[in-house]
Structure 1
Amino acid sequence: MYDLLVRNARLLDGSGQPAFKGDIGIEEGRIVAIGDLANTDARHAIDAQGHIASPGFIDSHTHSDLTIALDGRALSSLTQGITTQVMGNCGVSAAPTRDLEPYHGPLDPAMTRDLTCDWTHFDEYFQRLEANGVGTNTATLVGHGNVRVAAMGYDDRPPTTTEMERMKALVGRAMADGALGLSSGLAYAPGPYAELEELVELSKIVGTYGGIYTSHIRNQTESIAEAVGEVIAVGEQASVTAHVSHMQPGSPMLGSTRDLLATIDQKRREGRDISCDAIPYTIGSTTLKSLLPPWALDGGDEALIRRLKDSETREKIKQDTLQHGAESGG
């Protein structure tokens, strides 16, 4: 006797074959039988006539890092059929933290205003999730923004030798704790301050663990080809799998996707493991702060506020933003 029997569903099993009618038998929370189970009994049954049953969806790009620590039910995912989510994208992850202060990047801190951060590294963060309970399977990348802030703050400069070693150690610690790879958010401070060499060196650490590198690229307008090329360069020079997150050209580069995909396809033919994804709608969403020039965010939010209070500097920020906008990224 099954604990639960789902009857008469249209089954899509994830193999690629067409949907077929069948039943699903479940015991102790696990699927133990699929097929024609009409002559079997169950403690509970659901008539799924007219409905589709499928494996849970995997959301490979989420930003639930902090919200799931606040409310582990993950209802916004579960109600969409998502049972596994990959967090830590766009250079923003739950760990490492600096002085128990989360790095929010482009995310709105108000969304987690009631959150108390009591972790520095991922092992402590994972322990909190396990203690609270989590509604979905979760995996995470380690955010480059977190790593840079923890090692050297929001300074617009190359890292010192000591700071670079600190960043490499933080990435290594994150991977040892269970992170899947490194993500960068090169449109969000302090991401724009990182040069290619920095990203390559950190990705080499990731590579020793079999991890990947993903990137929210520096811009998606006039210089998008160069930005995609930078991701490819990191993958090649660090010998890691590389992925371009939401590769969607904006004006005046609308229509350039064909050329960008051709570049990626060529690299794949050469044996490079390069890939990309796209948002399945015609707009994107981020914070207005990301439109500001990177120099305006040098030193963090408090430094930005001081600059905005100075009328001459504020006008310079305005003109720079109007001229370059999302092309500069900040």
Structure 2
Amino acid sequence: MGRSAAEVLAWSRDLLDPALRAAAGELTGEMRRVAEYHFGWRDEHDRPAHGGAGKAIRPALTLLAAEAAGASARDALPAAVAVELAHNFSLLHDDIMDGDRTRRHRPTAWTVFGVNAAMLAGDALLALAFETLAAGPVTVEGLHALSRAVVALVEGQAADVAFETRTDVTLAECEAMAAGKTGALLGGACALGAACGGDTARVARLRAFGTRIGLAFQVVDDLLGIWGDPAVTGKPVHADLVVRKKSLPVVAALGAGTTASTALAGLYHRERPLTAAEAAHAAELVELAGGRAWALRRTDELLGAALAELDAAAPAEPAATELKELALLITHRDH
């Protein structure tokens, strides 16, 4: 019998943290200070701290995918660290581009150390990701898996930024953006782990599993960006609506062709952030136009498609069951 998702994440974190701290410790000066603050290990005065570091779902997927492919989690540990470093590179940059002032219930790194320092720290983490991966038992296929995932992530982020000035974003475009921005790295995480087992066909199946779960992760994240509890998300209520973010439920609602869609467009096409009252009204309009219902249906569809890919990979137990548990956790967060 496999472990629960919570047990898997705790196991993964126990394996990951010492290696992640050692990798980040290769940085010096301001870059080390910013990175260790961002990870929650130190405060803004460089004193030891115990800030939240997130669930580390991506490295957990890497470690489980390795076991599912017949390899050991220990063999995949450098890959798991590399995935987490690459993910946090993207978070440091995203917070700057999105103007987010809070992450994991703390001020974001750029608000503490400045834009330039936070941007450069993100760059340093990405360089460390490839250095860490190359120091482990990596194949050329593994290096390609990470590089392709990062390129797709950056392209997805670029599309997300471009959407800010457009009023004609389609749902298909929005899904393609999310598949790159979020799905690619979860798919890459699974591919990196599976590559430790050496079966190319299994790598492809597990990458597809991760990519679909990653897209579902973004759909749920977008739901939380509108209706999530700030005590859980670490962000203000209706955070995505205040900045008129074209998230998946919003774009689905805007394209529904209803009276609520038209009213929502009137709010979204303004040239300023929404007030708290306007954002609350926008949340009502998204729901009335069917955006919330669409997102819940789409999450279930993506979960089903992901589990079909996982089954087709014929993964070893108990990793197969534990990957399913993680998939359920990702797609059934409180929304």
TM-score, L = length of structure 1: 0.28
Between structure 1 and structure 2, the one with the greater Rg is 1
TM-score, L = length of structure 2: 0.28
Question: Which protein has greater RCO, CA pairs closer than 8 Å, 6+ apart?
Answer: 2
Between structures 1 and 2, the one with greater helix share: 2
